């Protein structure tokens, strides 16, 4: 019923130019400030009727109760029978969080303290490589065991005062070979990051790193650490328990940056800055739990997403950080959002009644402006855009460049909204063309406008603010998942490809025949074998 009402309201208002709604009152009403951040969603076609209906969706799905169930350790990941408690990893005040009758906080805080001791020792040289102080850290992991720390280490580059950090994820040997070539085994720490410690890409790369290390030092295990839930497997790999940082199955891979998977980030920026990062996320958790939906950043961001994708039918969402250090944020959000909400089956096993989550993609501004913004402005489809912008960068001496960056960010959302009509397009080239040619040329210069965007603004990309931003997106994914009625915390869709890859490996190596393979796959194997695979 609410969905129908939303669709009807969209149909009735879709042709309206939303710019006409915009005045000072709307700019105030359709933006929310929480902590240090401001989310502006005034440049959308959402009006108060649409917004009220969207709030009805939240009430209809019992969001408040489901949110509380997540924070208090209920097994809301129903297909795997697990709690979802990445929030416990940043619950720095240590109030109890119960899972199956047990408080998980003592373990969480003890592991955090062990990570801090380890990170400090690596940074100050009391834990050393066999050739001296650790100069390089290589994090080997994939998916959630890579994208989070890789994104955050880049994002917080201005705070990076520890050893160099490298991230190896791809099973393509080009990845690890390229990194190891730049490192000295005698002063490198290898961190094997894998929740399950079975992921074939990570284990293959870890063994390659082990062999590389053995050529340079006598005790390879002394320069390895592991981040995993599987203590038996890390021991079997030869990593001493003192260098294993464990976590529980209630931390999903793509939500794991806050705990041991964040070790490389902690070594890079130091335990104090890492705590500030956790505190930022914790502040967002507290906001999400306490704020009324009208003032609730994650809820509003989720509703804007639902309006644009499930109601308006815009197929993709572009994340456009005007913050070069966030250049891995779109990739990080691709996993967070698409692996969480890219599902066609509802929690109860029935087909999803509405569209699953959107395609998420993006690149930092201003680079994207000189590449794909053409389509965003003049393509036949509409892309909902999400801009991120800081008031200040970290290069004080070049603040004028930052101001230019800000101007570009604001210009884009304005251009998307306003567009340029035929008359002004004509006027802009009237000195060059006349008659029919003027008309023809002018049409190429028309921007339809009326294209929506939201802008997330913050003072500066500090560890605290980054924690807030990432937790904001996590909770947005949660809200969207609840409204869509699916389980955001499993990922069965990645399994089939893994199974088939395992079966194809001996075929590719020529140890097994092509029986049962489809003709296309067989022909491709044949081609690759003829060319030396």
Active site residues: 339, 370, 498
How far is Cα 163 from Cα 183, in angstroms, rounded to an integer? 12
End-to-end CA distance of the chain: 56
CB of 198 to ligand G6P, least distance (A): 7
CB of 231 to ligand G6P, least distance (A): 14
Are 155 and 325 in contact by the 8 Å Cβ rule? The answer is yes
- Residue among 64 and 494 whose Cβ is closer to ligand G6P: 494
CB of 249 to ligand G6P, least distance (A): 11
CB of 329 to ligand G6P, least distance (A): 17
The answer to the question of residue 264 lying near ligand G6P (CB under 6 A) is no
- Residue among 202 and 455 whose Cβ is closer to ligand G6P: 202
Of 372, 367, 515, 385, which Cα lies nearest the Cα of 451? 385
Of 413, 138, 87, 496, which Cα lies nearest the Cα of 255? 87
Half-sphere exposure of 147 (CA within 13 A, CB side): 18
The answer to the question of residue 455 lying near ligand G6P (CB under 6 A) is no
- Residue among 229 and 413 whose Cβ is closer to ligand G6P: 229
Among 7-15, 141-149, 354-362, 390-398, which window interacts with ligand G6P (CB under 6 A)?
141-149
**Residues 441, 446, 447: CA angle, nearest 5 degrees:** 155
Q: Report CA-CA distances (Å) from 65 to 60, 71, 473, 506.
A: 11, 10, 20, 50
- Residue among 19 and 249 whose Cβ is closer to ligand G6P: 249
The answer to the question of residue 144 lying near ligand G6P (CB under 6 A) is yes
Evaluate the CA torsion angle 106, 287, 468, 482 in order and state its sign.
positive
- Residue among 397 and 496 whose Cβ is closer to ligand G6P: 496
> Tokens 């501004």 sit at which residue?
365
CB of 202 to ligand G6P, least distance (A): 5
Which parts of 185-244 interact with ligand G6P (CB under 6 A)? 194-196, 199, 202
Q: How many residues at the interface with ligand G6P, by CB under 6 A?
A: 14
How far is Cα 217 from Cα 131, in angstroms, rounded to an integer? 8
Among 145, 223, 340, 468, binds ligand G6P (CB under 6 A): 145
The answer to the question of residue 271 lying near ligand G6P (CB under 6 A) is no
How far is Cα 285 from Cα 478, in angstroms, rounded to an integer? 12
Among 37, 97, 104, 142, binds ligand G6P (CB under 6 A): 142
CB of 497 to ligand G6P, least distance (A): 9
> Sheet holding 384-390: strands in order across?
31-34, 37-40, 453-458, 384-390, 316-322, 359-361
CB of 252 to ligand G6P, least distance (A): 7
Provide DSSP, 370-417: GTTHHHHHHSSS--EEEEEEES--S-GGGHHHHHHHHHHHHHHHHHHH
- Residue among 204 and 316 whose Cβ is closer to ligand G6P: 204
- Residue among 73 and 144 whose Cβ is closer to ligand G6P: 144
Q: What is the rounded radius of gyration, in angstroms, for the C-alpha atoms of the chain?
A: 25
The answer to the question of residue 259 lying near ligand G6P (CB under 6 A) is no
Footprint on this chain of ligand G6P (rule: CB under 6 A): 142-145, 194-196, 199, 202, 253-254, 339, 491, 494
């Amino acid at each position: 019923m609410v969905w129908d009402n939303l669709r009807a309201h969209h149909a009735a208002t879709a042709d309206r130019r939303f710019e006409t709604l915009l005045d000072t009152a709307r700019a105030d009403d359709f933006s929310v400030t929480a902590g240090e951040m401001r989310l502006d969603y005034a440049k959308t076609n959402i009006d108060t009727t649409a917004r009220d209906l969207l709030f009805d969706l939240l009430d209809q799905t019992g969001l408040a109760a489901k949110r509380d169930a997540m924070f208090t350790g209920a097994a809301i990941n129903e297909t795997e029978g697990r709690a979802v408690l990445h929030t416990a990893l940043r619950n720095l005040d240590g109030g109890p969080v119960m899972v199956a009758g047990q408080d998980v906080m003592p373990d969480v805080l003890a592991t955090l303290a062990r990570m801090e001791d380890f990170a400090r020792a690596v940074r100050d040289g009391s834990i050393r490589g066999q050739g001296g102080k650790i100069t390089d850290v290589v994090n080997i992991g994939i998916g959630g065991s890579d994208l989070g720390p890789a994104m955050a280490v880049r994002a917080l580059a201005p705070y990076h005062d520890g050893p160099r950090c490298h991230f190896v994820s791809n099973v393509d040997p080009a990845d690890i070979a390229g990194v190891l070539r730049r490192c000295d085994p005698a002063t490198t720490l290898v961190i094997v990051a894998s929740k399950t410690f079975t992921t074939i890409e990570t284990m293959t790369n870890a063994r390659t790193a082990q062999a590389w290390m053995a050529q340079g030092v006598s005790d390879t295990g002394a320069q390895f650490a592991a981040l995993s839930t599987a203590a038996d497997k890390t021991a079997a790999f030869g990593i001493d328990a003192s260098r294993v940082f464990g976590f529980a199955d209630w931390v999903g891979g793509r939500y794991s940056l806050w705990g041991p998977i964040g070790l490389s980030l902690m070594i890079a920026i130091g335990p104090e800055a890492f705590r500030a990062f956790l505190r930022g996320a914790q502040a967002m958790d507290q906001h999400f739990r306490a704020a009324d939906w009208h003032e609730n950043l994650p809820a509003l961001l989720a509703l804007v997403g639902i309006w644009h994708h499930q109601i308006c039918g815009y197929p993709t969402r572009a994340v456009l950080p005007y913050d070069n250090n966030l250049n891995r944020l779109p990739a990080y959000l691709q996993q967070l959002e698409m692996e969480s909400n890219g599902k066609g089956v509802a929690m109860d096993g029935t087909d999803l009644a509405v569209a699953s989550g959107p395609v998420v993609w993006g690149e930092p501004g201003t680079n994207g402006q000189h590449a794909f913004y053409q389509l965003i402005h003049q393509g036949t489809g509409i892309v909902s855009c999400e801009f991120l912008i800081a008031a200040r960068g970290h290069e004080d001496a070049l603040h004028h460049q930052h101001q230019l960056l800000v101007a570009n960010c604001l210009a884009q959302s304005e251009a998307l909204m306003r567009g340029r009509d035929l008359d002004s397009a004509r006027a802009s080239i009237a000195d060059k063309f006349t008659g029919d040619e003027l008309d023809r040329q002018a049409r190429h210069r028309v921007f339809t406008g009326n294209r929506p965007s939201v802008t997330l603004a913050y003072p500066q990309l500090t560890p605290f603010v980054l924690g807030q931003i990432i937790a904001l997106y996590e909770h947005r994914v949660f809200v969207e998942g609840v409204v869509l009625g699916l389980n955001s915390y499993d990922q069965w869709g990645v399994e089939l490809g893994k199974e088939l890859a395992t079966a194809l490996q001996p075929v590719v190596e020529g140890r097994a025949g092509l029986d049962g393979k489809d003709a296309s796959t067989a022909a491709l194997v044949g081609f690759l074998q003829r060319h030396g695979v």
